[in-house]
Amino acid sequence: MATNADKKFPDGFLWGSSTSAYQVEGGIVNTDWNEAARQGILPDPGRADDHYHLFEKDFDIAVELGHNAHRFSIEWARIEPEEGVFDERAIEHYKLVFDALEKRHLTPAVTLWHFTVPLWFDKSGGFLRKDAATIFSRYCEYVLDKLGNRSKMWMTMNEPMIWTQNAYFNGNWPPFHNDLVDYLRVINVLAAAHKKVYQYVQAKKMPIQLGVAKNNMYFDSNRSPFNRMLVWFLDWFWNRRFLNKIKGHQDFIALNQYFYKRFGEPRPILPRSDMGWEVYPRSLYLCLMELKRYNLPVYVMENGIADAADTKRAAFIKEATMWAHKALEDGVPLKGYFYWSLLDNFEWDKGFDKRFGLVEVQYDTMKRIIRPSALVFKEICQGNALFI
């Protein structure tokens, strides 16, 4: 691929990568996921990447790779290990994380809840509790009161549709429900919980922006009448319904984008990642264009592929950022792009085999090795190249 010096992203554009606490920190022992691991149902993250202790080293790598921003999450189970009991030591740890980011001029983007919940919350009914929205909001309010001044950009939750599908419909993740009614109910609870937090932020006049990290898919078909109807329904239910529920209660949209789904023939033959997912970077552009209707700033908060051999990632990053720029040209108010992930990490029910990282982690020694594809991304982050 050639580079095009005229294809520039605007000044102030955020370039970075993302992580989540449970997937990289290690040493988290009192969540629903830990309980499932103890029972042998799910793999155990153990010390994961030991990012809890090595975060400064990891942020040094992010700077070396040309990033100017970083997205991470705060672990609810650390902050509120018992119901209504908050651990100030956990707050102090995350203050150190913010200090490290500030020292390195990395703009933080922070997720308050990324899939795992405290064990006490899970055992008392989780998001099926009648007061679940209030309990969740209380946790978020506590963190924002303590740390809200350390970042302008906050997300209450990550991928509510992905989590509810796996936890309450497919039954793959805690609490392992397989119930359509519970599934739909919890989606509504999460929307209500986010709105409560947003209303709190507005009432307190906090000078922050609040949103949700929303996974959207691009649905396509051969345009037969049935497939057109199916695609319309899936787009409405999966992509738009949650965002519509929180309309007026978000300051930006954080897009997580991985999936392209086509129904009917002909089907393009696409490469696949180590997760078995089709690799189709243009779907990022198509999903970004669909977000124009909301008239809100947009950040790509997750976009990446599992590729242990690092043979596909560089081409993916080149194409994805090219399509991100195309969306900018076509009127999407795109403000940043965060690759998933900075590090190889614990990939939920898949364990450690699926390697998304710009940086390889050797888990026996915790050694970090920068992959060649990370240097391609560095050129793009530094404005030296946009590959077309």
At 255-278, the pLDDT tens digits run 999 999 999 888 889 999 999 999
pLDDT tens readout for residues 193-212: 999 999 999 999 999 999 99
26's CB contacts (< 8 A; 6+ apart) are 45, 46, 47, 48, 49, 50, 51, 52, 53
Amino acid of residue 50: D
The pLDDT > 90 percentage for the chain reads 95
155: number of CA atoms within 13 Å, CB side?
30
Q: What is the mean pLDDT of the chain?
A: 96
Phi, psi of 156 (to 5 degrees): -65, -35
The average pLDDT across 211-227 equals 95
pLDDT of residue 385: 80
Query: CA-CA distance, 385 to 378, in Å (whole number)?
Result: 9
Domain 14-381 top-level CATH class:
alpha beta
Q: What is the largest CA-CA distance in the chain?
A: 58
**Is the separation of the CB atoms in 358 and 371 below 8 Å?**
yes
pLDDT of residue 387: 72
β-pairing verdict for 260-263 and 218-221: parallel
The average pLDDT across 282-306 equals 98
pLDDT of residue 7: 79
Query: CA-CA distance, 317 to 314, in Å (whole number)?
Result: 5
pLDDT of residue 69: 98
Of residues 216, 208, 220, the one with CA closest to residue 243: 216
Give whole-number Cα distances, 213 to 109, 123, 188, in Å. 11, 26, 16
User: What is the rounded end-to-end Cα distance, in angstroms, of the chain?
Assistant: 6
Of residues 130, 241, 121, 133, the one with CA closest to residue 197: 133
Q: Is 80 a catalytic residue?
A: no
Per-residue pLDDT band for 180 (boundaries 50, 70, 90) equals very high
The average pLDDT across 334-351 equals 98
Neighbouring C-beta atoms of residue 332, cutoff 10 Å: 20
Residue the block writes with tokens 């983007």 = 109
Per-residue pLDDT band for 5 (boundaries 50, 70, 90) equals low
The pLDDT > 70 percentage for the chain reads 98
Out of 75, 159, 278, 319, the active site residue is 159
Could you tell me the residue ranges of all domains in the chain?
Answer: 14-381
